Amino acid sequence: MSRAAKEISPIEIYKYLPKTNCGACGEKTCMAFATKLANREARLEECPELLKPEYKEAYQALWEMLKPPVKEVVIGSGDRAVKVGGKYVMYRHELTYHNPTPIAIDVEDTLEPDAIRERVKRIQEMAYEYIGRLLKLDGVAVRCVSGDAEKFKQAVQVVAEETDMPLILCCLNPDVLEYALVTVYERRPLLYAATKENWREMAELATGYKCPLAVFAPGDIALLRSLVKTLTAYGVEDLVLDPGTFPGEGFSDTLNNFTMIRRAACKQGDELLGFPLLGVPAVAWLDKEAPYELKAWNEACMAVMLLTRFADLLIMHSLDGWVQLPVMIWRENIYTDPRKPVSVEPGLRTFGQPDEMSPVLVTTNYALTYFTVENDIKAAKLDCYLIVVDTEGLSVQSAVAGRKLTAELIADAIKESGIEERVKHRYVVIPGLAARLSGELEELSGWRVLVGPKDSSAIPKFFAESWPPKEEG
C-alpha cells in the first residue's frame, strides 16, 4: 500500500541513505538530500552511492517508500514523449502536482488524407506565449470511426508522417487496432482501450508491442478496478484509467467518479486505482443537435473541470483558440509549484532604444506582473529602462503588504542596477500600488519618485501626460 507524500519524513528516508556525507548528490549532507527527497525535489538516482550493489536493498526500500500513489506512465518516445500521472498528492496544496496534463486532439479516420494533414498541422502550430512560457498541445488521438482496418491504418500512418507528437490509437476492435499498430508501435502509442469484452486481446497487444494501455469501464469503478487487477496479473504494467466522461446531466457523476478513484489511490492507498486518469471532453461533440459554439463551450468547461478534478490526460476536439487557451492557462496555473511563486530574474531590462533621458520604471519579479508590464511597455513602443526588484515572486500589492517591496529594497535595486551611469535624470516611476513608498524612497535613494498607474495598461497614457517631467521639459 502506498503512502501519501506528506507522511514520509526525512528521518525515515535518512535511515536508508549511505550516511557518508560525500556531497556527490550536490548536497553537503545525506540529511539534506533526505529532505529534498521527502519534498520530491530530488531523485534517488542523484545519489551515486545508492546505485552501488551494496545498497541495492536500501534503494529498493526507498523506491517503494517514495513511489507516487498514482503511477507515472510514459506515452510516446524520444523528446516528445509525455509523462502522465506520477501524482504524489490528491490536492495540489499538499505538495505540488507533477506532470502537467497533456492535451491530445482527436483525428477521425474518415477524414481524407489531406484533411488529416491539415488538422495535424493546426494541432502542431497551436501555441501561445503566457508569462514567458510557450503553451502548446501535446498529442494526437486517432479515432477509428470507420471500423475499417485499412482506413484506420492509413489515417494512423498519415498522422505519424506529419508529427512526432505522442499518439493515442482509439479502436475497441483489437484486430483493427493491431493492423495500424504494427506500423507505429515503436513510438509507444497509448492503446485505447481494454474493456470487459476485449481485455485479453488488448493485453496481448500491450505486452507484445510494449505499449501503455487505457482501460475503459464507463460509470463502473468496480469493473474498472477488476479489469486493472486482471490486466496487471496478465503482465500489463502501464495502464491509464478511463471511468467515462459523460456530457450534460451525467457530468457530475463523471467528476464524482474521478474524485473517488483519486481518493482511493492517494488517501486509501488502493494500488489498483493508482493509475493516471483519462478525461474525454471531446464527448461534448456527440450532441449533433447543439449549435457549434455551445458544443465548443461545453467542451472547454468540461476540460477545465476535469483538469481540476484529477484528469492526468485529456482528449479534446476543438482547435478554437477561445476553447484551448483557457484550458492551457488553467493547466499552467494548477501545475505551478505552490511552494515557489512563478518568478523572473531580478535586474535591469531595456526596451527599445533607451538613452540618457529615457524613463526608468520599477516592477516586481512575479512572472505575471513582469510579463504584463513588459507587454504593455512593448505595446506602447516605449524606449525605457525597467528595474525588476526581487520580491521573492510576489506581485506589487502583496509584496508591499508583506514588506517584500520596500523603499530600501528599491533604493538598493536602483544602486545595483547601474542605472545611475546610464541616465542623466534622477526620476524613477514606481507602480501606483506602491505609492506609499514614494516619500521614503526619495529620502533613501536621492531620486525623485513619480507614481505610475496602478494598472500597467495605463502606461501609454501616463507617459504621454507625465514624461518628460515638468522640470526637465
Binding residues (CB under 6 A) for ligand SF4: these are 17-18, 20-25, 27, 30, 33, 47, 49
Helix (H, G, I), strand (E, B) or coil at 173: coil
Q: What sign for the dihedral angle of Cα 244, 249, 251, 254?
A: negative
Question: Which residue lies nearer to ligand SF4 by CB, 9 or 20?
Answer: 20
Question: Which residue lies nearer to ligand SF4 by CB, 37 or 342?
Answer: 37
**Shortest gap between Cβ of 390 and ligand SF4 (angstroms)?**
29
Question: Which residue lies nearer to ligand SF4 by CB, 18 or 347?
Answer: 18
**Shortest gap between Cβ of 337 and ligand SF4 (angstroms)?**
23
Question: Which residue lies nearer to ligand SF4 by CB, 46 or 412?
Answer: 46
Strand 427-430 relative to strand 278-279: parallel, antiparallel, unpaired?
Answer: unpaired
**Shortest gap between Cβ of 26 and ligand SF4 (angstroms)?**
8
| Residue 463, C-alpha cell as written in the block | 507617459
| Residue 55, C-alpha cell as written in the block | 545498497
Question: Which residue lies nearer to ligand SF4 by CB, 20 or 256?
Answer: 20
| Residue located via cell numbers 484528469 | 311
**Shortest gap between Cβ of 58 and ligand SF4 (angstroms)?**
11
Nearest-angstrom CA–CA distance, 241 and 202: 14
Nearest-angstrom CA–CA distance, 372 and 131: 8
Nearest-angstrom CA–CA distance, 356 and 457: 25
Question: Which residue lies nearer to ligand SF4 by CB, 22 or 172?
Answer: 22
Length of the chain: 473
Half-sphere exposure of 197 (CA within 13 A, CB side): 6
Question: Which residue lies nearer to ligand SF4 by CB, 49 or 442?
Answer: 49
**Shortest gap between Cβ of 308 and ligand SF4 (angstroms)?**
36
**Shortest gap between Cβ of 83 and ligand SF4 (angstroms)?**
25
CB atoms within 10 A of CB 320: 15
Residue 105 DSSP code: E
- Give backbone dihedrals phi and psi of 142, rounded to 5 degrees, phi first: -90, 120
Nearest Cα residue to 85 out of 227, 285, 279, 367: 279
Which residues make Cβ contacts (< 8 Å) with residue 241, sequence separation at least 6? 214, 215, 224, 228, 261, 273, 275, 276, 277, 278
Question: Which residue lies nearer to ligand SF4 by CB, 53 or 473?
Answer: 53
Question: Which residue lies nearer to ligand SF4 by CB, 33 or 285?
Answer: 33
**DSSP codes joined into one string, 243-304:** -----GGGHHHHHHHHHHHHHHHHTS--GGG-S-BEE-GGGGGG-TTS-HHHHHHHHHHHHH
**Shortest gap between Cβ of 59 and ligand SF4 (angstroms)?**
11
| Residue located via cell numbers 493509475 | 275
Strand 213-216 relative to strand 190-194: parallel, antiparallel, unpaired?
Answer: parallel
**Shortest gap between Cβ of 66 and ligand SF4 (angstroms)?**
13
**Shortest gap between Cβ of 64 and ligand SF4 (angstroms)?**
18
**Shortest gap between Cβ of 47 and ligand SF4 (angstroms)?**
3
**Shortest gap between Cβ of 35 and ligand SF4 (angstroms)?**
11
Question: Which residue lies nearer to ligand SF4 by CB, 52 or 461?
Answer: 52
Cβ atoms of 136 and 166 closer than 8 Å: no
Helix (H, G, I), strand (E, B) or coil at 457: helix
Question: Which residue lies nearer to ligand SF4 by CB, 23 or 321?
Answer: 23
**Shortest gap between Cβ of 19 and ligand SF4 (angstroms)?**
7
Half-sphere exposure of 468 (CA within 13 A, CB side): 11
Question: Which residue lies nearer to ligand SF4 by CB, 50 or 459?
Answer: 50
Beta bridge partners of 170: 143, 192
Cis amide leading into 359 (omega within 30) = no
